[in-house]
Amino acid sequence: MLNISRQSVRDEEIEQRIYAFRLLQLPSLGTTLARLLTGMAVLAFAALFLPWTQNIPATGRVTAFAPTDRPYSVPAVIGGRIMQWYVQEGQYVEKGDTIFRIGEIKPEYMDPQLPQRLAEQIAAKEAAIRATEATIEALRQRLQVLRQAAELSLQKARNKMQQVRLKVTSDSTEYEAQKMAVAVAENQYARYDTLYDKGLVSLTDLQKRQVYYQQARAKLTALESKLLSARQALLTALVELAGTQAEYREKILKAESEMRNYEAYLSNARLELATYRNKYASTLLRNEYYYVLAPTDGYIVKVARGGVGEVVKAGEPVVEIQPARPQKAVELYIHAMDVPLVQPGARVRIEFAGWPAFQFAGWPSVSVGTFGGQVAVVDYVSQPDGTYRLLVVADTTQDPDWPEELRIGSAAKGFILLQDVPVWFELWRQLNGFPPSLDVAPPTAKSYKSGKSPFGKK
């Protein structure tokens, strides 16, 4: 009211006199709506202080924790032709069951009596080796005898040479002594001849000295001949010694050369024997590979080469097997910036494809249809797309086991749980793009192996 007039009119009088004003009322719906919005605002403000579990979302698939429990291909160890199948796809097989049989295609292995023939070759080569070893032993003994005979013969020749050398020395001494005797006799003969000319000695005495001189010269000539004979005998002894050495050296070298030839043949024979044995063992082992057996209990998943008569190469995958009763795990992939926040032992909530679930990432306690897990492995090397792989196993301490109907390769979605923070802090962090916070040190693999949860109870 502007209050222009001096007469005031009360609102009650206006409402009583004017019918339209009596019909005016405050709407109850607006009041209810206002109260409702006010209550919701209060609740929303109060919700900002509720605890919120920080988490890292990730997607992945079901796999086996142990590498031996994952699907793998069974190859043909040897190349050949598929002759017969003993299993069907989806069939359960036990370890050692025959999967298929391979026929031979290589000509060198087509002889059905090949192992027997190789065994005969091995026996013949072993006999030849034994005979060669006996021959070598005989030659070794022969060499020993030759060396002993050579030593004796050489010693005999040396002794003879020494005797002849001593004889030469003796004859040379006698020859030198006789030369002196001849000189003395010649000197006496010359003096007697001078005395004879002077008439001091008789002709008989002179002739005696002449005869003595002639006898001395004759004896000197004989001794000279004897000395020359002794020297010739010494040369002959030296030649005999050299000949004996050469003769026995030739015999020893010939025996050694013959023994070396047998030793070379023995080495080649042993090499051939090793080759025969290797081929024999390979043939026996190859015969075992004609039947391809199941390496473990499992299910036949896929047959790559199913036609009978098809030729497969050595090492070519033929059938794929999924091991029975694997320890299931989930492999999740997270970004590199989240890797420092995740350690072995971290709790995870998992949602499997095909199992209805109602997931509250921030309030895992009110989630329905999810299953608990623990991080067992964090890869140290990133994937080609830059993400890191986690292996999550079932957490049986707080949740029931995972469904038995889970198949390897099924899709899965997980949330790695971190610490509790207020809702307003999480909204503020999300708006600013900050990473989740850690007030405590990250859990270690040691705490996980001890069986204690490093995060405590939520």
As a three-state string, the secondary structure of 23-72 is: HCCCCHHHHHHHHHHHHHHHHHHHHCCCEEEEEEEEEEEEEECCHHHCCE
Statement to judge: residues 181 and 152 lie in one domain: yes
- pLDDT value at residue 399: 72
Q: Note whether residue 41 is domain-resident.
A: no
Whether 316 and 230 map to the same domain: the answer is no
Residue 148 resides in a domain: yes
**Looking at the structure, do residues 295 and 392 belong to the same domain, yes or no?**
no
In the predicted structure, residue 353 carries a pLDDT above the cut 70? yes
Identify whether residues 55 and 89 lie together within a single domain: no
What per-residue confidence (pLDDT) applies to 285? 86
CATH classification of the domain holding 339: 2.40.30.170
Average pLDDT over residues 365-375: 74
- Which range of residues forms the domain containing residue 86? 72-104+290-322
For residue 455, tell me if it sits in a domain: no
pLDDT, tens digit, for every residue of 375-422?
999 999 989 999 999 999 988 777 778 888 888 888 998 888 876 666
Is residue 366 situated within a structural domain? yes
Tell me: do 318 and 223 sit in the same domain: no
Predicted confidence (pLDDT) at residue 74 exceeds the cutoff of 50: yes
Count Cβ atoms within 10 A of the Cβ of residue 240 and give its class: 0-12 exposed, 13-18 middle, 19 or more buried: middle
Query: Above 60 in pLDDT, residue 7?
Result: no
Residue 424 lies in a domain: yes
Distance CA 283, CA 296 (A): 25
Q: Are residues 121 and 265 in the same domain?
A: yes
Q: Looking at the structure, do residues 164 and 188 belong to the same domain, yes or no?
A: yes
**CATH assignment at residue 299:** 2.40.50.100
pLDDT band of residue 458 (cuts 50, 70, 90) is: very low
Segment among 83-87, 89-93, 402-406 with least mean pLDDT: 402-406
Residue 151 — very low, low, confident or very high, per pLDDT cuts 50/70/90? confident
Q: Are residues 57 and 192 in the same domain?
A: no
Residue spans of beta strands (DSSP E) within 258-385: 291-293, 298-303, 311-312, 317-323, 328-334, 347-352, 371-378
Looking at the structure, do residues 336 and 440 belong to the same domain, yes or no? yes
Other CB atoms within 10 Å distance of the CB of residue 145: 10
308 and 344 fall within a common domain? no
Does any domain span residue 457? Answer: no
- Calpha distance 50→290 (Å, rounded): 68
pLDDT in tens, 154-202: 888 888 888 888 888 887 888 888 788 888 888 877 887 787 787 777 7
Query: Does residue 282 sit within a domain?
Result: no
**Which of the pair, 101 or 357, is modelled with greater confidence?**
101
Residue 131 predicted with pLDDT over 90? yes
The reported pLDDT for the residue numbered 67 is 87
Residue 376: inside a domain, yes or no? yes
Q: Do 83 and 141 have their domain in common?
A: no
Give the per-residue pLDDT at 52: 62
The mean pLDDT value of the chain amounts to: 80
Task: Report the largest interatomic distance among the alpha carbons of the chain, rounded to a whole angstrom.
Answer: 228
The arithmetic mean of pLDDT across residues 285-308, rounded, is 86
Q: Are 365 and 309 in the same domain?
A: no
CATH number at residue 132: 1.10.287.620
Number of structural domains in the chain: 3
Lowest-confidence segment of 36-40, 314-318, 397-401 by average pLDDT: 397-401
